[in-house]
Amino acid sequence: MTAQDPFINKHAKQRVGLGDAIVLGLSSSGPAQTLAVSLASLVAASGYGSPVPILLCLIPMLGIAFAYQRLNRWDQSAGATYTWVARVFNPYLGFLSGWMILLYYTLGTTTLTIPAGVYTLELLSPSRVNDHGAVFLVAAAWNLLITGLAVAGLKIAVRFEWVIVLLQYAVLLTVAGVAVDVLLQGHAAAHFSWGWFSLTGLGGGKGLMAGMLIACFMYSGWDAAVYVNEESKDRVNDPGRAAIASVVMLALIYSIAVFAFQAVLSPAELQTHAGDALSAVSGQLLGGPFKALMALVVLTATLATLQAAVVSATRVGVAMSRDQVMPSMFGRVRADGSTPWAATLTMGGVNLVLLALSLSTATIGEALTNAASSLGLISIVFYGITAAAALRQQLVAIRAGRGDLILGGVFPLIGVLFSVTVLVGSFWSGAVSTAVIAYGLGSIAIGAAVALILRWRRVPFFVAAGSPWSPRDRRFS
């Protein structure tokens, strides 16, 4: 996409600011909907020590966020990791990184649309919450609506998400405060113990690794702000600042909320309410009206997160299509040049297929657990690759005396080591199931096969693999 492309010139008037970028990052991770999806799974994996994996992930996630910041200052592309890795390492790894990001956001919508269906039924027809057919129909309807809204434009999406982010933080922190008070007074399902946070309390190494994989999924999504860098007012600085701010804010809300909510119900009750855990917790704490309020909050937060996922995936799709490694139709935009409608509609169709496949598993809880762990696995791979690209790119600047050793070298290195440790540890400890391996690594393997096919067809992006790849100018003018 060149600087004269109509999408760039017309859409530039609707650029987003720093606050908007932070809201996109928070919406993409979606604390309310993410907790709704992962709370039961996290407690099942790590017991009542669940805040530990969340806090252990903070520093490495900051390291990865600093990596994104440095790389975005170097090159502002909607493809982000896809573009950076291709330039720093090689086009094959760059393509595979882009493939994983698209995979993350398409598979990720499964963990969004299932709760959307569940929480809608919780409000309108509670008796059908565990009816897979009803969940699919309602979730599919929401998916179609959000796809339509995404076509309407980025500024509309951001305005919608501002309201939802403020609402969900206010309600989550209020209910969490009540839950902490109940826990400390000894009226929760379990009595507080410092032993929760020991390795034994976490379920040993396997429990810790399984919890960290889910925690990676919970954090993931903060990078959404980077994918709209070509549409940002300060495209050099705002996306990176938004990424760092999002990671810190997510660490705070997740650690507080998980500590507060995890012991309100027994682990068995949490698993029974795997699809509507926050509503069940709120109902237990404050009664029926708050159960309905929490259901509404999670529903609206889920829709905002789904919208952020659609926005992110389509921007990466556009970046890949202009390099001819994705269908050219992904680059088609509305007549006013404001939105890549073709990529948005395509993603909407894929989401419906993945939703149907996920709900074919034995239970909704199992579907959410498999999806959450698979997304954690995928995200930790492309986050680690991004950190490695930043480390290599920044080392050149550091040796020349133009870089910051701590933020440009040490922090990305921490991100790389963390990614490798979690990935290897998850397999070594048996924390990942066969289904997770099939969803995660199997999908990545398909991407590698697609890359080889494109190389065989002599797509220019891959043919130039033997020499430094210089992307076309794709920035806003």
Identity of residue 240: G
Residue 60 lies in a domain: yes
Q: How far apart are CA 35 and CA 412, in angstroms?
A: 27
CB 426 within 8 A of CB 216: no
368: domain range? 12-466
3-state DSSP of 360-379 = CCCCHHHHHHHHHHHHHHHH
Per-residue pLDDT of the chain (477 residues; tens, 9 = 90+): 333 343 443 455 567 888 888 988 888 888 888 888 789 889 988 999 999 999 999 999 999 999 999 999 999 998 999 999 999 998 999 999 999 898 888 777 766 677 778 778 878 888 887 787 888 888 888 888 888 877 777 777 788 788 888 888 899 999 999 999 999 888 888 889 999 999 988 988 888 988 888 888 889 889 988 998 888 888 899 999 999 999 999 999 999 999 999 988 888 888 887 767 888 888 888 877 777 888 888 888 888 888 888 888 888 988 898 888 988 878 776 665 567 777 778 877 777 777 777 677 556 666 666 666 677 778 888 999 999 999 998 887 777 666 678 888 889 999 999 999 888 887 787 767 777 777 777 778 888 888 888 888 888 888 754 444 444 444 432
Residue 475 lies in a domain: no
Residue 347 lies in a domain: yes
Residue 472 lies in a domain: no
Number of domains in the chain: 1
Tokens encoding 420: 């490798």
Tell me the HSE value of 273 on the side-chain side, using a 13 A CA sphere.
Answer: 24
Residue 412 lies in a domain: yes
**For the segment 201-214, what is each residue's pLDDT rounded down to a tens digit?**
898 888 898 888 88
Residue 7 lies in a domain: no
CB 55 within 8 A of CB 237: no
**For the segment 141-173, what is each residue's pLDDT rounded down to a tens digit?**
888 888 887 777 777 778 878 888 888 889 999
Tell me the HSE value of 7 on the side-chain side, using a 13 A CA sphere.
Answer: 22
Residue 331 lies in a domain: yes
Instruction: Report the CATH number that the domain containing residue 155 is assigned in CATH.
Output: 1.20.1740.10
Q: How far apart are CA 313 and CA 300, in angstroms?
A: 20
